[in-house]
Amino acid sequence: MVRPIHLGACLIVLSACATEAKLVDVAGECGEAFTGQVCTFAQTHADSIVEVGATVAFAAIEQAPVEHPMAWPPTPETALSFPVAWQEASGLQESTFYWEAGGHPPAPFLTPHFDFHFNLIATADRMAIDCTDHTKPAALPAGYGMEDLALPPEMAAMVGMDTLFGTCVPQMGMHALPLAELASSEPFRGSMVVGYYGGKPAFIEPMISKAMLMEKKSFDLAIPEIPGVTGSYPRTFRATWDDAKQSYRFAFSGFAPGS
């Protein structure tokens, strides 16, 4: 038996499919790091922002020089601001990208790696950080610690101080690190750092070894619950390797207000 086709119902379904909102990538600023580009992006669905992050060309990783002069304060390879709408939705204000050719203390991080700072404070406030305020946060994320880092004489002479309180770096802030990695005797691979200044959260940092990124594999890094954030901040981070584009996509999502 041939059943009649209800054309009206089909048209309604097709119309709904045609007007259904799609995920759309919106391009932001780009900057050059070594021989590759770092570009910011947001992914939207209808009027909502689903992801905010940056794409990093593999050339920027592969061509990072073995010898890289140390500057104090450290100079980012790129510093890219996010549009206001992205800032309001995600809590992320800008992205700063640093290359640590020889790593840096504490000991587990003395391996070549990249510091991808996604800042929770305005650029002007970040630039004003001089580490003279030794106020530490009242509470750290569970499983995190913050060290006062004593410097060797030659480095102390260069930076003009013998101790980095809270591992504070000018124009960045203090660094809180996972306790398990601080206690490790093995070089780290990838870690989610949480930064502070004046006792308040200042940045979220995927800190990733060059060795790990050279593998060209996707991975996740856990973002802890961060006490003291009053606005939105992301709860999820994923680095996705794109073989066709030869680049990584660093995407933050799951934005929700802090406590």
On the question of pLDDT at 150 being above 70, the answer is yes
Q: Write the DSSP assignment of 180-242 as a string of letters.
A: HHHT-SSPP-EEEEEEEETTEEEEEEEEEEHHHHTT---EEEEPPP-TT--SEE-SEEEEEEE
Mean pLDDT confidence for 229-245: 97
Confidence of residue 155 (pLDDT cuts 50, 70, 90): confident
Q: Are 28 and 80 in contact (CB under 8 A)?
A: yes
Alpha helix (H) residue ranges in the chain: 7-19, 58-62, 84-90, 123-127, 153-159, 179-182, 210-213
Mean pLDDT confidence for 190-204: 98
pLDDT in the model for residue 13:
42
Paired strand residues for 257: 232
Reported as a single tens digit per residue, the pLDDT across 211-221 is 999 999 999 99
Mean pLDDT confidence for 231-253: 98
pTM of the complete model? 0.90
Cα maximum dimension of the chain: 92
Distance of CA 164 to the CA centre of its chain: 22
